[in-house]
Structure 1
Amino acid sequence: MSGLFGERKAESLYHLQGMDEQARFELITASTIENRIDTAVRAMQAMALVFPVVLKPDAGQRGSDVAVIRGARELSDYLVRVSGTVLLQEHVEGEEFGVFYMRDPDVEQGYVFSITEKTFPTVIGDGHSNIESLLMKNPRTHYLAAYLLDLHAEKLEFVLKDGEKFKAVEIGSHCRGSVFLDANDLITPDLEAAMNRISGSIPGFFFGRYDIRVPDKLSLKAGQGIKVLEVNGVTSESTNMYDPSYSIFNAYKIMFAQWSMAFKIGKANIKGGAQRITFFGFLKYLISYSSNIKSNNDMTIDKKA
């Protein structure tokens, strides 16, 4: 379904195995709590990872249940709380970007359609206010109070030094408080060459957004130091349209250009022999997918070995 829905994060990431650009990961499947925790610990050892690591549902979206895990207790708590298959991934430091890539199937080289810089809300200490007070006073974070107060429950009474910074959000999701900024000025031939090389390793990938981290902007422009966190398919968004400086007309212009290319690619693929799904086939797939999601959400994990 080209990532329309039911997209599994691991499916595309597996194609990057052996490439320096792949953020290392392992799947933790549904099983007993003890087996899941043991699998996670063994996976970290096999990949030579230490905390922090990232855990997220293999079939999640929009930052749902994505967490930075900083210790063994957080690891076990997460695996108890989140059922179904999850992805354990190395935590990559650096700056985060969304790079939207497109390629017409009739040509050999694609291009970067857009780049989104993902910035994380930060509060700054004044020497006497605790973290809870700072979060509630901040014009961005107070809208996410319920989520952030729960996320940082053990740190709320801590008082930051004057000028000390505290990153309120570590997940590059708009729904989790990250601010998205247009960064199309960072598009370069070197970056496009790197994205063409990476995309060439994923069979049939012509359209979608890479969520990546790099050491800095210069590395991104040089196409170096890229670590791919996720590969998102046809329903992924060119998230630069969420730049606060953009009007709704700017956003629609980006969206129309994105979907115009999506339909052009789809038409070319059908012409090249790709199977066209019927409306009823799509409906059947949607119902099946919704049932599977409900089943995963309702799943209770056997806590006995």
Structure 2
Amino acid sequence: MKRIQLALHKITHWEYWPYQVVYLPIYFQYLYYVARTRSFFYFNASNPTIRNGGFLMESKKEIYDLIPQQYYPKTVLINAQEPLDSVTDKCHQAAIVFPMIAKPDVGLRGTAVKKIDTLEALEAYHKRANFNYLIQNLIPYKKEIGLFYVRYPNQEKGTITGIVEKEFLIVTGNGQHTIEELLLQNPRYAFQIPVLKQELQEKMNQVLALGEQLNLVPYGNHCRGSKFIDASHYITPQLIETFNQICSEIDGFYFGRMDIMFESYAQLEKGENFEIVEINGALSEPTHIYDPKHSLFYGWKELTRHFHYMYEISKINNEHYNNPYLTFKEGIKEFKKHHEYYDVILKF
């Protein structure tokens, strides 16, 4: 697939557009809420137990610590400066085994999230990482969704406002073409070739047998080639009730997207056979909007709807539950830290 074809595909599919363009109407909505709250950083009150409400610089490990252990995979925090022996000891003590997932403690849209299959790969990741990161057991379930949950602080129960299914980057062999050639047949996958070449190297030249499937990115991230499918039709009263119970056990969580891996929707409704990959707070997107079937206008409608939820929740927390907004000086300081960290993690 030629570069001009890929460029044309990006232009004609808004899901690939820069967020600065997609979010254009949201900027005006944000300024209106700034005027109403008299704070540029009102969103930090949306989830008061999460740093900045989950808008930026939040620690995934600190969020996991809010979640009952039975709902997420075994996880350890690794300091970038500690020796490899300490890393392996932590994994052994936590019963984390290969294959495992390594990811930055402060995330950045899927950057530096890796599946680690061997001790050599773990050592290579640790040497490259100039940031603190997490190691987790690989979740055994095959299905993954993003479930958006909203609850007003002055109400006992909330609701699920959207579900997105994540179709992983999986290639199917035909006995003739290499992995790279198979990737070139799908624009969504072709965008990932530069990164995959760095990760897989010579394996890109492997020819898969007829019907053989290979999952090249075992986590659902849009930036890493996953296709997002709107699955909001799976929202049922029973599913809402189940997640009201689960979220009531997560202190201070009112607004955000829970990325979940699970066995089946029937079991998920009962709160069985699932694990939370992570929770995203104030910066969460209702990612079901990125289903290719949806128009940009639908995306704008859903973004403004969820942005309004966040404003209302933040305002209630601020006015009735003594959760102050960040001051302007504090907010600017956090943004500076974010940009410094951004420069660090992109060097990975």
Equivalent pairs counted in the alignment come to: 295
Match of 1:24 among 74, 80, 84: 74
User: Per-residue displacement from partner, 1:248-287 (whole Å, max 9, x unpaired)?
Assistant: 0111111011011111101111111221223333223322
Of residues 237-246 and 150-159 in structure 1, the stretch that sits farther from structure 2 once superposed is 150-159
**RMSD over aligned Cα atoms:** 1.9
Match of 2:202 among 154, 157, 161: 154
Aligned to 2:302: 254
Match of 1:82 among 105, 122, 129: 129
> Whole-Å Cα distance in 2 between the matches of residues 38 and 297 of structure 1?
26
Preserved CA contact (<8 Å) 1:27 1:88: yes
**1:212-251 matched pairs, under 5 angstroms:** 212-251=260-299
Say which SS state the counterpart of residue 74 (structure 1) adopts: helix
Preserved CA contact (<8 Å) 1:128 1:159: yes
Match of 1:271 among 316, 319, 329: 319
- C-alpha distance 188-223 of structure 1, shift in aligned 2 (>3 A): farther
**1:1-305 matched pairs, under 5 angstroms:** 1-17=52-68, 19-32=69-82, 35=83, 37-93=84-140, 94-272=142-320, 273-291=322-340, 294=343
Preserved CA contact (<8 Å) 1:141 1:168: no
> Whole-Å Cα distance in 2 between the matches of residues 134 and 297 of structure 1?
28
User: Per-residue displacement from partner, 1:57-105 (whole Å, max 9, x unpaired)?
Assistant: 0001211100011111111111111122100011002211111111001
User: Per-residue displacement from partner, 1:171-190 (whole Å, max 9, x unpaired)?
Assistant: 21111111111111111233
> Whole-Å Cα distance in 2 between the matches of residues 153 and 296 of structure 1?
22
More helix by share: 2
Aligned to 2:45: none
Distance apart, 1:41 and its partner CA: 1.4
Say which SS state the counterpart of residue 83 (structure 1) adopts: coil
> Whole-Å Cα distance in 2 between the matches of residues 176 and 267 of structure 1?
35
Preserved CA contact (<8 Å) 1:214 1:225: yes
Distance apart, 1:8 and its partner CA: 0.8
The one-letter code matched in structure 2 to 1:80 is K
Distance apart, 1:297 and its partner CA: 6.9
Of residues 189-198 and 64-73 in structure 1, the stretch that sits farther from structure 2 once superposed is 189-198
Aligned-residue identity in percent: 33
Of residues 2-11 and 194-203 in structure 1, the stretch that sits farther from structure 2 once superposed is 194-203
- Give me the TM-score of the superposition, normalised by structure 1: 0.90
The one-letter code matched in structure 2 to 1:31 is Q
Say which SS state the counterpart of residue 156 (structure 1) adopts: helix
Preserved CA contact (<8 Å) 2:230 2:288: yes
- C-alpha distance 69-288 of structure 1, shift in aligned 2 (>3 A): closer
Preserved CA contact (<8 Å) 1:55 1:69: yes
Aligned to 1:303: none
> Whole-Å Cα distance in 2 between the matches of residues 245 and 222 of structure 1?
30
> Whole-Å Cα distance in 2 between the matches of residues 298 and 96 of structure 1?
28
Preserved CA contact (<8 Å) 2:147 2:260: yes
> Whole-Å Cα distance in 2 between the matches of residues 170 and 140 of structure 1?
16
- Give me the TM-score of the superposition, normalised by structure 2: 0.80
Preserved CA contact (<8 Å) 2:170 2:217: yes
Structure 2 gap segments, 5+ residues each: 1-51
Preserved CA contact (<8 Å) 1:193 1:223: no
The one-letter code matched in structure 1 to 2:206 is F
Preserved CA contact (<8 Å) 2:100 2:136: yes
> Whole-Å Cα distance in 1 between the matches of residues 347 and 99 of structure 2?
28
The one-letter code matched in structure 1 to 2:72 is Q
> Whole-Å Cα distance in 2 between the matches of residues 227 and 134 of structure 1?
31
Aligned to 2:42: none
Distance apart, 1:149 and its partner CA: 2.1
User: Per-residue displacement from partner, 1:93-123 (whole Å, max 9, x unpaired)?
Assistant: 2211111111001101111111110111222
> Whole-Å Cα distance in 1 between the matches of residues 342 and 204 of structure 2?
34
- C-alpha distance 252-293 of structure 1, shift in aligned 2 (>3 A): closer
The one-letter code matched in structure 2 to 1:191 is L
> Whole-Å Cα distance in 2 between the matches of residues 82 and 30 of structure 1?
6
Of residues 215-224 and 99-108 in structure 1, the stretch that sits farther from structure 2 once superposed is 215-224
Structure 1 gap segments, 5+ residues each: 300-305
